Amino acid sequence: MPDLSDCRLLWCHGSLSRPWGTKSMALADLAGEFGLVMEGPDFSDLAGPDDRVERLLTLLAGDDRPVILAGSSMGGYVAAATALRTPVQSLFLLAPAFYFPGYAVHVFPDLPDRVTVVHGWDDDVVPADNTIRFARTHKATLHMLRDGHRLEGSTETLCVLFARFLAGTKRDLEQHA
């Protein structure tokens, strides 16, 4: 029976950020409490989101462990777009950059059943309406916070929501074993 600790957890950072910032470090620490090691591939040498999707697919190729993807902003898009092309157990998306011109994917059929999205009401980079549209279309769990794009004031809340998400992913694995 697969266990949560058998999963591969990857963090997809945003467009202008690096893999290991305040949010990702806090989430990685929390993941450790669930027996997971969060990987943070560096995509900063790639400007295009779809080039990042290709790199992530290459990183996942040949590994048959269940995959959990988490991502912020462009990284949220990268995680969701990747889930269309390879099996993914669940998605945790922060202020995901959906429906932007120049991004290859605008329709996300067949996403995993467990998709959690967190977004700030005061986001000045990704319109909250884009995330609400995505969540409504995919019946994703949606949390709207009083914060901006970087969700800098919500690290504690993000950790609580990520813990719930990981616990739910663990239940999903146990039920489908």
Give the tens place of pLDDT for each residue, 114-142.
Answer: 999 999 999 999 999 999 999 999 999 99
How far is Cα 49 from Cα 112, in angstroms, rounded to an integer? 20
Model confidence pLDDT, tens digit, residues 53-101? 999 999 999 999 999 999 999 999 999 999 999 999 999 999 999 999 9
Query: 3-state SS of 105-126?
Result: CCCCCCCCCEEEEEEECCCCCC
Q: Is 33 helix (H, G, I), strand (E, B) or coil?
A: helix
Q: Does residue 33 have a pLDDT over 90?
A: yes
Q: CB atoms < 10 A from the CB of 62, how many?
A: 6
Domain boundaries, the chain: 4-175
For residue 140 the two structure tokens come to 């994703």
* End-to-end Cα spacing for the chain: 5
Q: Does residue 1 have a pLDDT over 60?
A: no
When pLDDT is cut at 50, 70 and 90, the band that residue 16 belongs to is confident
CATH, domain range 4-175? 3.40.50.1820
> What is the percent of the chain where pLDDT is above 90?
92
Q: Are 175 and 40 in contact (CB under 8 A)?
A: no
Q: Does residue 174 have a pLDDT over 70?
A: yes
Q: Does residue 176 have a pLDDT over 90?
A: no
Q: For 5, phi and psi rounded to 5 degrees? A: -70, -10
Mean model confidence pLDDT for the chain: 95
Q: Does residue 2 have a pLDDT over 80?
A: no
